[in-house]
């Protein structure tokens, strides 16, 4: 047999160590990811179970109370319209609390946002403490502020106005500052190049860019305050919420139905008006 008659010798392919390492890393990474996901899943389930027990969630108690609930629902109709004029006056009082409180918050939040936005403030050292004050204001609920001011100025809608104004100032100034910080720097730099001072730069460069966002936030918070002002009557700050509380205590469901229909109409109207104005702005 000559050398040309022998079958060709095939060299076995060399192992691709890089591919093997990649596969091993992928396997280990997949296992680690699976363990991490399992840990977070178990932690989430434990928190959910603990929260359910703390909140004393009981489906048997809900089931036992359903007949009483159905009986109450049948007593809602027909609504009692004998006190409709006084309910309309209380509804307007609730709306007025939201209007005045939100207006006062806008007047205060504008300068605070200018001072707390990092790209517009003339006092950068003031930004951290000012942000802390804003977080404190928005961290305290409107009803808690109203309850506090009821002790200061007495029962009535003025306490509600102060509660809405203080809480909304914190939320609005923070959101306004975030809008100011997201405006493009080119118009500001162009106005600065003309030698303009900070006030004129804000008026001619910052405000035109940020105005649609600021107005949209104001409308959204006003809409939110109309809804939250209903609750203020329960803490003694006036409005339709007080009549709601009285009806609930007396279990007068016909009277309660009239109040709920008025609240539904007011909130629907405000939602529609706010959405319409936002569409016009966009």
Contact 142, 206 (CB under 8 A): no
Taking residues 13-26, report their average pLDDT. Answer: 67
Cis peptide before 78 (omega within 30 of 0): yes
3-state DSSP helix/strand/coil % of the chain, to nearest 5: 80, 0, 20
Question: What would you measure as the largest C-alpha separation in the chain, in angstroms?
Answer: 121
More confident residue, 2 or 247: 247
Within 13 A of 255's CA, how many CA atoms are on the CB side? 18
Band of residue 222 on the pLDDT scale cut at 50, 70, 90: confident
In the predicted model, is pLDDT for residue 200 greater than 60? Answer: yes
Work out the number of other CB atoms within 10 angstroms of the CB of residue 181. Answer: 14
Taking residues 28-45, report their average pLDDT. Answer: 82
pTM value?
Answer: 0.74
Highest-confidence range of 81-85, 159-163, 187-191, by mean pLDDT?
Answer: 159-163
Contact 158, 97 (CB under 8 A): no
In the predicted model, is pLDDT for residue 43 greater than 90? Answer: yes
Cα 169 to Cα 103, 137, 155, 185, 207, distances in angstroms: 10, 7, 22, 26, 19
Taking residues 103-119, report their average pLDDT. Answer: 90
| Residue 132, pLDDT score | 92
Residue range 143-187, pLDDT digits in tens: 899 888 888 888 888 988 999 999 999 999 999 999 888 888 887
Question: How long, in residues, is the chain?
Answer: 282
The encoded tokens of residue 57 equal: 């969630």
Contact 99, 163 (CB under 8 A): no
């Amino acid at each position: 047999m000559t050398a040309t008659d022998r079958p060709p010798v095939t060299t076995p392919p060399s192992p691709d160590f890089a591919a093997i390492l990649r596969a091993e890393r992928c396997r280990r990474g997949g296992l680690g990811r699976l363990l991490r996901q399992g840990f977070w899943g178990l932690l989430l389930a434990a928190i959910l179970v603990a929260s359910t027990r703390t909140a004393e969630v009981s489906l048997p108690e809900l089931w036992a109370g359903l007949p009483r609930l159905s009986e109450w629902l049948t007593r809602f109709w027909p609504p009692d319209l004998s006190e409709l004029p006084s309910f309309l006056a209380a509804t307007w009082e609730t709306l007025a609390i939201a209007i005045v409180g939100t207006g006062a918050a806008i007047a205060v939040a504008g300068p605070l946002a200018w001072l707390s936005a990092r790209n517009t403030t003339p006092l950068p050292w003031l930004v951290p403490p000012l942000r802390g004050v804003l977080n404190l204001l928005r961290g305290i609920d409107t009803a808690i502020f109203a309850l506090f001011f009821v002790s200061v100025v007495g029962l009535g809608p003025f306490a509600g106005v102060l509660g809405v104004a203080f809480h909304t100032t914190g939320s609005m100034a923070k959101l306004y500052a975030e809008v100011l910080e997201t405006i493009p720097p080119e118009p500001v730099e162009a106005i600065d190049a003309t030698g303009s001072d900070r006030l004129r730069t804000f008026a001619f460069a910052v405000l035109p860019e940020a105005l649609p966002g600021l107005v949209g936030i104001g409308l959204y918070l006003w809409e939110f305050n109309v809804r939250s002002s209903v609750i203020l009557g329960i803490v003694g700050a006036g409005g339709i919420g007080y009549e709601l509380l009285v009806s609930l205590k007396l279990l007068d469901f016909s009277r309660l139905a009239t109040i709920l229909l008025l609240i539904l109409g007011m909130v629907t109207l405000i939602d529609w008006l706010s959405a319409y104005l936002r569409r016009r702005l966009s």
